[in-house]
Amino acid sequence: MICVKVLFFGEAFQLVGKREESVEFPNETDYEEIRRIVLEKYPSLSKIEKVMMLAVDQEYANPGDRFELERFTEIAVIPPLSGG
């Protein structure tokens, strides 16, 4: 297990009430496990669960993606984006 920084943007920040927090994840993990851990730790995110996106080290993550997390890895929780 490793602690990495999780960043919250927009509505995710409003729902969680924090801009960032260290969260423990398995060193070797995948998109689905990251999503499950984040939603378990922050149940308020269930409001945007179906539309939120995740990014790992500033790259959007997709279902099926696998990751080797390291000490300075950052995971971002990104709410739906709207244009205008």
Cα separation, 17 vs 8, in Å, equals 9
Distance from C-alpha of 58 to C-alpha of 62, rounded to nearest angstrom: 13
Q: How many domains is the chain built from?
A: 1
Task: Give per-residue pLDDT as tens, 41-67.
Answer: 999 999 999 999 999 999 999 999 999
- Domain of 24 in residue numbering reads as 2-78
Q: Examine residue 84 and state whether it is found in any structural domain, yes or no.
A: no
Residues 40, 60: Cα–Cα separation, whole Å: 21
pLDDT of residue 81: 73
Whether 83 is in a domain gets the answer no
Q: What is the CATH number for 31?
A: 3.10.20.30
What digits encode the pLDDT tens for the residues 4-37?
999 999 999 999 999 999 999 999 999 999 999 9
DSSP letter, residue 17:
S
